[in-house]
Amino acid sequence: MMKYKLSLLIDSLLSSGANFLITFLLLKYEGNESVVMFGVAMTLALIFLSFQRTIVLIPFNLKEDKSSKIRIIEFLSCSFFLLVLFLVLIFISTYFAFSYQGQWLLAPALFAFLFIHESFRYLLMISKLYFLPALVSVVLVSTFAASLLFSGLSIELLINTYLCLFILELIVITLCITFKKANTGEQKLDIFFWFRDTRHLLNRNVQSISQLLLVHSPFLLVSALYPATISSVLFIARSVFQPVQILIKSLEAVDQRKLASLKDDAHTFVKSLFKKYMLISLVASSICLLIAVYLFPVVYAEQAVPKLGDLLFWAGILTCLSCSRSVEMLLVKKNMYKKMNSLYLLSGLGVSSLLLLNLFLYVQISPSFSIFLGWLFLAITYYLIVMKGVDNE
């Protein structure tokens, strides 16, 4: 299991590196509009991937017999249904947003690859082939890095690469399930099992929807209403500081198990986590900030480089996000989904209102600052919850 966790961490770091490299190269060879195009495609993919996680991945991960052939077939059946459904929705939403075929195919191709890659990870977690997802990410990064030797990165290369890797992982999954032997005494096939626990399914999806308003909606709103030179800053900054989020998620996986085992002193433990995550995220964000400040001016023209103020706001956003994750573990432990969802909803609506007011009132305030205020409000409110103490609802 430790080998799988290490492989998963490597895969996550490579995926983060690939996103940063893509944004870096698109800005250099294609310009701000292509950066926004990729950012919108990634945002749409992440939105639908959050529902893949709540509907399929979390229930499958909680299964004790997830290595059985019947469970795997159920998992793949539900995944295939969601993949087709989400692809149709993405096709519809991007067909009218992008002007020609070479553009609107990016979001479906990116989502299809990320969807199958997540399924790939979960299927191989207890297999001897646990290293394959990381290997695929190595191929992904190598392909985009190799583009530097030729004509540079383009939207068409992105589409072709994602589709090829999607087909490759689909073939491997098909071969694995074909040659896997069924265990004796397995239960009957029930492909609708994932929708039977309606209470937990509803809670998880309401949580995802409320978080979308703060996590993803600002990117889509700014991309739709603001010029590409402004909206591209959000996607560039997100890719710069993404390693901070990956680092906190890896720590969260360990700390969440510790918190689940505690019957007393949960608040004391979360207070220490809040401080630890704040310190770690501040250090990690500072490192990312220094890299961006010294690297970007060397490679790009001055007008393409995000301003220092925007980068500082995003360092603050990632710090607030990291601190918030510690408190969310406590709220989930105490089944306080309503409080968490309402705070995300309030923060998200506040950010959207600020972005719209800035646009219509012609106020020269950076969208990064508006997003920072939303995350700062959430982090401060979470801090007060921990300091005050929280009772079961």
> pTM for this one?
0.83
Q: Which two tokens stand for residue 184?
A: 């004796």
Q: What is the pLDDT of residue 391?
A: 46
Q: What pLDDT score does 190 carry?
A: 64
pLDDT, tens digit, 9 for 90 and up, residues 273-285: 888 999 999 999 9
Max CA pair span of the chain: 68
pLDDT in tens, 327-344: 888 887 777 778 888 899
Nearest to 19 by CA among 158, 119, 221: 158
- The answer on pLDDT for 76 being more than 50 is yes
Q: Nearest Cα to 277, choosing from 269, 265, 287?
A: 269
Question: What six digits make up the tokens of 147?
Answer: 């583009």
Average pLDDT over residues 74-89: 89
By percentage, how much of the chain surpasses pLDDT 90?
21
pLDDT in tens, 144-165: 888 777 777 888 888 999 999 9
User: Vertex 12, ends 11 and 18: CA angle to 5°?
Assistant: 90
Does residue 10 have a pLDDT over 50? yes
C-alpha count within 13 angstroms, C-beta hemisphere, residue 253 = 10
pLDDT of amino acid 35: 86
What's the confidence (pLDDT) of residue 124?
A: 75
Domain ranges of the chain: 1-196, 202-393
- Mention every residue, 6+ apart, whose C-beta is less than 8 A from residue 177: 69, 72, 73, 76
Distance, CA of 39 to CA of 235 (rounded, Å): 6
Give the pLDDT score at 3: 67
Cβ count within 10 A of residue 129: 12
Task: Work out the pLDDT band at 392, boundaries 50, 70, 90.
Answer: very low
- Choose among 354, 48, 353, 78: nearest CA to 208: 48
Highest mean pLDDT: which of 7-16, 60-69, 94-103, 317-326?
317-326
208 token code pair = 């995802």
DSSP 366: -
